[in-house]
Structure 1
Amino acid sequence: MPAWIDGKLMFFADSPPRRLLELFAVKWSTMVLHALYHWPHHRARTGELERSLQGISKKMLVQTLRELEQRGLVSRQVYEVVPPKVEYALTPLGKTFAEPVEQMYQWGLENQAALDEMENHFRAMRQTE
């Protein structure tokens, strides 16, 4: 838990905010959860996800899905058919995590001007360096 020490808020390595931040550290984690959250029946094949997430490589998608599965946020179902078929879906825990991610993404949709301002400020600061 965060703690106050000498009037300062400290976030220890095992604090919930730091543990949550680990999920955001992997660039594509929230986007994969977001895609699965909006997918019909919340189930998708690897190729479908790859096509819906412009810019992600198949290798990165597989790594991200594997990590999300290891954390219990995504389930993987393999069908014994030819050609092989694998589907990914949000687990109940994954749906719980995806809901606040959705709120954050909704904020982005509703505040595009703020995002543009932030990007413009960032670019201007980099040019002065």
Structure 2
Amino acid sequence: MYPNVLETLKALRPRGLAVVTNKPMAHTEKTLKALGVESLFEVVLGGDSLSTRKPDPGPVTEALRRLGVLPDQAVMVGDSPMDIQSAQAAGVRVAAVTYGFRTGVELMSYSPDFLISAFAELREVVK
């Protein structure tokens, strides 16, 4: 797990957290459990949870519905162009992280609302 992720997730938990991934649900649940963070998320959607996957906005929209949150009240964190495209199509602000699968330079070409280099920066983004 990247530095400050657990602490940041715990701090943001009262606001409602979801996981939206294209990975299969069984793999996603196993990973969250292995990391000890499964209880921090109210909603978890895998790539096989719905009939659509990112970059379609459907999974993000469904996560928002289950959380009872409007798009303008949410921020999606992602490390791929598909994350950014899915959030934007759902009308959700997106914070792209500069670590993970893509570089900050590459992600900036997709016009995320925020670019963060440390997960703890997310606390400032959601204020």
The alignment's TM-score, normalised by the length of structure 2, stands at: 0.24
Whose radius of gyration is greater, 1 or 2?
Answer: 1
The alignment's TM-score, normalised by the length of structure 1, stands at: 0.24
Q: Which structure dedicates a bigger proportion of its chain to helix?
A: 1
